[in-house]
Structure 1
């Protein structure tokens, strides 16, 4: 007598879920979604090391495969021979199973960071890819293809000690994206006025109180630059606002004044040194790296970033810095 049998796809799916449950960090709460035909298989809530429920969520689609075909990196020039094998292994690359572009469109619209987890059953490993970044970089494919695959890096594995923290780092960066869109629009559109503000508010009377209007403009400049630097991966070597206020209070002993010109001057010198770097990185991202995405999503911002006027302004900033060094 014939009996029902489990399809191979069901076996692979079950093995993938067992792998995820065994490899997920203890700080993750994995919540499986019962209806999985819409591109999301699970939501993961990230708790703190102390077990606090943070509300930080990521969404996951889990794909299983019997094995992954890895390719060697194009170059490992400069690596020490003893470390070369480990370097090559960690930087092996592959492509994920194909995903329908309709699903990728859906992922790009979700407010929660999305990850593709690919379970390699034979290797007993799960590799992850932050999908929104790839979608923005390969945005034209969403309109011209029926499916899309995502790059996998062998070092991006939940089996690695840094696997969980790396997922969380990518998630934090993706949560900054909406703020980045808002803040970088302000930085680009007001780049010249911010540059003028930086120049005209240095070398003033050190003991004067910074007036309310200048104080608010400084905070707008500070917060926009800090947020953009975090998103773009640029080191933010500028004193925190809290430390600026604290040092100002300690130096001037004036409990009724938040900020004096001397403290503002010091902060603006620090911001001035990084401002052109932030603008250049943002322009490269918007004009080149994610050009198709920004051209369709915000054509005005893309046009401004492609203009010669902004490029000349950055050159002027950099020349001013060189003269002062």
Structure 2
């Protein structure tokens, strides 16, 4: 007689636990004809119960009593050709490691893992990933998971925006230097072009952070305007531009430091996707570091000029 294996029991329990834990925010649809390396789709809905259209592909790995060591859990070994396939998908793909004993789920963005482990994936047939024990879906809620899916869905935009920032960092920083650090209260027009300029930088920086899977909310001009708008009799003054530029210059330092710190981690990714970016990083690395450390200002802004021979 056929006998149900432990592996089959764990698989069924894993799917049931997933449905139970996301029931308040999403539904899980198991694929009847499973895609290669994909077990199903999670589709989110709005607070009123209507479907919002956001969905993510998932690969489910179930186990009992998943050990946690130094704040990390390890996935079972996964074939690297499967991971390369995930990376080619247009939709976001997440690995879900279900601990059926404790009824919780560890999650990680599979495409992110493919990017930061590109060198290993290129030479190995299988690989096991580490997932932070903080990346968890449990009975307490799923906000973190949905936020990570949101960031993952923004990846193409964030990649393009980060490439633009790397190529244009000199001009971006010059604009911030010119508009920061001044004590001036001259009244401005509400359509001053610098308002759109700084707001565009704020939006760009936030998208760039998404590339590194950081949800860093960026303030824009209207945030600083609101802080003292009534005090200035509902006028827009130069100080609002200065405050925004000062803030964005500091945020730009942090962003450049991340670009520098993760240069080697993402070198293989850029090699495969946009060789010009890694060439630019190599060329401008020393100057980028000086900017990130705050050693470039109004007194020596001319070193940001670029001459093509």
**TM-score above 0.5, yes or no:** yes
Q: Is the 8 A contact 1:67 1:121 kept in 2?
A: yes
CA distance in 1, matches of 2:216, 2:20: 35
Match of 2:175 in 1: 197
Identify if the C-alpha distance between structure 1 residues 154 and 209 changes in structure 2 by more than 3 Å, giving closer, same or farther: closer
Partner of 1:57: 55
The two structures, once aligned, show a CA RMSD in angstroms of 3.2
Partners in 2 of 1:224 and 1:268 — Cα distance? Answer: 14
Conserved 8 A contact 2:104-2:139: no
Other structure's SS at 2:136 match: coil
Deviation at 1:231, TM superposition (A): 5.1
Q: Choose from 238, 248, 260 the match for 1:271.
A: 248
2:267 maps to 291
Which of these residues, 187, 205, 209, is aligned with residue 225 of structure 1?
Answer: 205
1:304 matched to 2:280: yes
- Residue equivalent to 2:304: none
Q: Is 2:95 the partner of 1:119?
A: no
Partner Cα separation in structure 1 for residue 99 and residue 251 of structure 2: 43
**What does residue 207 of structure 1 align with?**
187
Flag structure 1 segments of 5+ consecutive residues without an equivalent.
74-90
Match of 1:178 among 151, 156, 161: 156
The 3 A distance-change label for structure 1 pair 129 and 235 is closer
Query: 1:244 and 1:67 mapped to 2: Cα distance?
Result: 50
Q: Give the drift of 1:272.
A: 1.6
Instruction: Provide the rounded CA distance (Å) in 2 between the counterparts of 1:302 and 1:153.
Output: 29
- How many Å separate the matches in 2 of 1:123 and 1:246? 47
| Larger fraction in strand | 2
Question: What is the number of residues matched between the two proteins?
Answer: 294
Question: How has the CA–CA distance of structure 1 residues 5 and 211 changed in structure 2, closer, same or farther, with 3 Å as cutoff?
Answer: closer
1:118-159 deviation per Cα after TM superposition (whole angstroms, max 9, x unaligned):
233444443323222221111112221122222134443333
Alignment match of 2:20 (pick from 19, 22, 41): 22
Where structure 2 has 5 or more consecutive residues not aligned to the other structure, the ranges are 299-309
Query: TM-score, length-normalised on structure 1?
Result: 0.77
Contact 2:221/2:241, CA 8 A, preserved across alignment: no
Superposition deviation, residue 104 in structure 1: 0.7
- 1:13-38 CA deviation, whole Å, 9 max, x = no partner? 22322222233342111122111141
Counterparts in 2 of 1:197 and 1:127: CA distance versus 1, 3 Å: closer
Q: CA offset at residue 278 of structure 1?
A: 1.2
Contact 2:68 2:133 in 1 (8 A): no
Give, in whole Å, the separation in 1 of the partners of 2:188 and 2:64.
Answer: 70
Q: Helix, strand or coil: the match of 1:36? A: strand
Can you list the C-alpha shifts for 1:200-259, whole angstroms capped at 9, x where unaligned? 234477234487654543333232123324554375463x344456679764757xxxx6
Q: What do the CA deviations read for 1:78-134 (whole angstroms, capped 9, x no partner)?
A: xxxxxxxxxxxxx2x332122221211121122332211223344444332322222
TM-score of the superposition, structure 2-length normalised? 0.80
Are positions 1:4 and 2:13 aligned together? no
Mapped contact 1:207–1:262 kept (Cα < 8 A): no
Distance in 1 (CA, whole Å) between partners of 2:190 and 2:273 is 39
Q: Distance in 2 between matches of 1:187 and 1:169?
A: 24
